[in-house]
Amino acid sequence: MPRSAGEQVVVLTGASSGIGRATAVELGRRGAAVVLAARSEDELRDAAEEVRAAGGRPLVVPTDVADFAQVEHLARTAVAHFGRVDTWVNNASVSVYGTVEDAPVADIERVIQTDLLGAIYGMKVAAPLLKGQGGGTIVNVSSVLGRLSVPLQAAYCAAKHGVIGFADSLRLELARDGSGVAVCTLMPSSIDTPFFAHARARLGGKMPQPLPPAYDPQAVADAIVKLCERPQRDVIVGGAGRLFVLLHAVAPGLLDWVLLAGDGGAKLQTSSEAKTGGDNLDRPVGGAQPARGGWDRLSVGDSWYTRYWAQAPLVRTAALGALGVAGLAVARLLGGRAADDTPRRDALVAIG
């Protein structure tokens, strides 16, 4: 039986800002023990104070997830301090905006090392740890861009696709062993965080921006907390992202056309604001980092789709059951009106 979030020890990478910080504070509100991991100790300590003020028990462990030895150290430190780990959240991400032609190989490698290998290292370390404890949960924060791709973020898209593929294989292996370890993949849509200001950009001096609409990071934090308590295989945060994933699955060529029409896929990711300051690709930007990025004009706040459908199994079951009953009733009605048309009646009943 999974523990409530407030009773858990949660290891959280990418914890110093954005989705990670919002999640850390939300876990703190539940009273959880939160092991905060990111590259900057100063940023982590600032986040830890917010977690403590919210009622949580923070532990700061500076970690570059692109270094496997540091990820191993993170796990050892968490267990030494709290005695166990209940949920491991792989959330650290960086990005580079620009065309493949313009992106130096070193930049591409750094994105892959952090976003893909960082998550793989986390899974590699967490799986045997949780398995040895008799169960637990791994949450991988991928992206809607792990199911589809957009221009100007090729390395990021490749990494997030890879996270999903690796997690799917690991899930099967752990199930095959009867390990009791759940592997969850979270796919946020655009989220209003400092991620875009922190990204390295080759956009003619302009700052990247989220593809609208952008959702509040609290929507992702709430989804992660729910996964700690009730694991699910895949969860998309944001109805817009769900629609894009569905469109890509059904008509990928049409989605390509949408992204290329009027060069919208590139223009909608490029802000009118000048890119100022540095980026966090090679090192932290420094200073206290908030959860939100200030993209109010593009933000729609909470994700009703995620809260009331994607993570509400009782609502889904009731709704799908009602649709099934309605379909069966319609099928029988039509079948009664065409009693001589047996093949059609049988087909409608099967659909219902």
Please say whether the beta carbons of 17 and 193 come within 8 A: yes
Q: Measure the CA–CA gap between 165 and 107, rounded to whole angstroms.
A: 22
Same domain, 93 and 227: yes
Give the amino acid at 349: V
- Co-location of 324 and 282 in the same domain: no
pLDDT score recorded for residue 288: 74
pLDDT of 211-240, one tens digit each? 989 999 999 999 999 999 999 999 999 989
Same domain flag for 288 and 332: no
pTM for the model: 0.86
- Over residues 48-71, the pLDDT tens digits come to 999 999 999 999 999 999 999 999
Q: Per-residue pLDDT tens for 267-316?
A: 999 999 999 888 999 999 887 788 887 777 776 765 566 566 666 655 54
State what percent of residues in the chain have pLDDT above 70. Answer: 84
> Is 197 in the same domain as 345?
no
Whether 77 and 113 share a structural domain: yes
The DSSP bridge pattern shows strands 87-90 and 234-237 to be: unpaired
Same structural domain, 325 and 267: no
**Mean pLDDT of the region 241-249:** 94
Q: Are 72 and 128 in contact (CB under 8 A)?
A: no
Domain of residue 85, CATH code: 3.40.50.720
266 lies in the same domain as 320: no
The two counts, helices (H) then strands (E), for the chain are 14, 13
Does one domain contain both 331 and 257?
no
Q: Report the distance separating Cα 105 and Cα 107, nearest Å.
A: 5
Dist. CA 104–CA 210, nearest whole Å: 23
C-alpha span between 173 and 1 (Å, rounded): 21
332 and 197 in a common domain: no
Could you say which DSSP state residue 116 is in?
I
Question: Binning pLDDT at 50, 70 and 90, where does residue 324 land?
Answer: very low
Q: Where does residue 105 rank: exposed (0-12), middle (13-18), buried (19+ CB within 10 A)? A: exposed
The one catalytic residue in 97, 156, 215, 305 is 156
Same domain assignment for residues 202 and 344: no
Q: Domain containing 234: what range?
A: 5-303
Residues 241 and 322 in one domain: no
Residue 172 corresponds to which tokens in the numbers above? 């099967």
**Does one domain contain both 282 and 321?**
no
Nearest to 14 by CA among 55, 54, 56, 66: 66
- The predicted model gives 142-169 an average pLDDT of 98
Q: Which is more confidently placed, 306 or 47?
A: 47
Mean predicted lDDT score pLDDT of the chain = 87
Per-residue pLDDT averaged across 159-163, rounded? Answer: 98
Q: Rounded to whole angstroms, how far apart are CA atoms 221 and 317? A: 24
Nearest by Cα to 349 from 337, 340, 336, 335: 335
Can 156 be counted among the known catalytic residues? yes
Domain count of the fold of the chain: 2
